[in-house]
Every structure is written in C-alpha cells, then in structure tokens.
C-alpha cells in the first residue's frame, strides 16, 4: 500500500467517524429535546397535552426523513427500555397503553414531514402549514386508533382528539413558520 493510498484510507475513515459522531450527537440532542417537551404538559385524561407534536414536526422538517426516523426510533427505544422520556411513565407496557399510538404516530409523522420537507414543501408558508397538518393528522390517526381499541371510538375522539385541536393549530403554525425559515436558510446555502 502506498503512502497516498494509506493517507486516503485514513482520511475516509476519519471522515466516516466524524460523520457518525455528528449523527449520534444530533440524535441524542433531538431525543433530549423531545423528552423535555414531553414533560411540558397540560394534564388531560387519558392523554396529556404536551409540546411533543411541535418538536416531532420540527425534527422531521429539519433533520430529513432518515435522520428523523432514526431519532424517533431511538426515542421510542429509550422509553421502552425504561428511560423517563415519555410524558408520564416508561417501559413496554406504556407503548401498549392509551398514549402508545400517539408515540408510534410520532415516528411516522416525523418521517413523512421529513420526506415532504426534503422535497421543498416547507419553503413557503402555506405548503409548510399543510406539511405540518399532515404530520398532526398522522399522529392522530395512529393515536386515536389505538385509544379506540382500548376504549371506544367515541371516547377516543372526544378525549383523545377534540380537546387538542386548538393547541395543535397553534403548534402547526409555529412549526410551519420555523420550518419555512429553516428551509429558506438551507435554500440560500445551496
């Protein structure tokens, strides 16, 4: 092996290590922010109102589909493993409970928002708002479906959806504004 080849191999290895470290740091930071957002809540029964949906939407819009999916998967694994990252509780049984569907919906929503954002859907305000609305709809579709299995559809809709709509409209607006500003910055760098 020549010195040139060895140097190139070492440079690639260093670059890969640096990339992995950056991705790991991003996932750890994002899951920490998501865990903090879970603790900022207004008590509702059977599902508390938290800032998690806002953070989930922003994770999707800013990290892209793959990194957003990895981040939310890491978050779910942390909670299932017993770390106190969810709103109130942890462990495998928590995912099977009334809030578990919403948590799984977070993973799907962040990934979809990430895909839409990567396709430029957050560069302008109206498409950004529609992207965030799509994310919220996904969260509720999965969350309300699981809650309906545990209770009934009427209870799931009246207790697990309707009370949250006003707050989530505000979260959609905030996420759309932040995502649009972030997308504009990324677009200027391209």
The CATH number given to whatever domain includes residue 91 is 1.10.1760.20
The pLDDT tens digits for 9-22 are 656 766 788 899 99
- The string of DSSP codes covering 101-112 is HHHHHHHHHHHH
Q: Work out the average pLDDT over 55-83.
A: 97
| pLDDT tens-digit readout, 118-176 | 999 999 999 999 999 999 999 999 999 999 999 999 999 999 999 999 999 999 999 99
Count how many domains the chain has: 1
Looking at residues 73-80, what average pLDDT do you find? 98
Query: What is the extent of the structural domain holding 178?
Result: 3-189
Q: Phi-psi region for residue 153, left (φ > 0), alpha (ψ -120 to 50) or beta?
A: alpha
Closest CA to 74 of 180, 20, 46, 83: 83
Contact criterion met (CB below 8 Å) for 118 and 139: no
């Amino acid at each position: 092996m020549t010195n040139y080849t060895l140097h190139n191999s070492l440079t690639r290895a260093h670059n890969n290590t640096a990339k992995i470290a950056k991705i790991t740091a991003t996932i750890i930071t994002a899951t920490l922010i998501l865990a903090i957002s879970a603790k900022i809540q207004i008590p509702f029964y059977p599902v508390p109102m938290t800032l998690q949906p806002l953070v989930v939407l922003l994770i999707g819009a800013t990290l892209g589909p793959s990194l957003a999916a990895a981040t939310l998967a890491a978050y779910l694994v942390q909670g299932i493993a017993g770390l106190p990252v969810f709103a109130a509780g942890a462990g495998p049984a928590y995912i099977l409970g009334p809030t578990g569907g919403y948590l799984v919906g977070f993973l799907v929503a962040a990934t979809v928002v990430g895909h839409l954002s990567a396709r430029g859907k957050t560069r302008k305000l109206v498409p950004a708002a529609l992207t965030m609305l799509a994310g919220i709809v996904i969260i509720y579709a999965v969350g309300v479906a699981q809650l309906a299995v545990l209770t009934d559809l009427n209870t799931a809709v009246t207790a697990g959806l309707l009370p949250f709509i006003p707050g989530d409209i505000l979260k959609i607006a905030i996420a759309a504004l932040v995502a649009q500003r972030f997308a504009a910055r990324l677009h200027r760098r391209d």
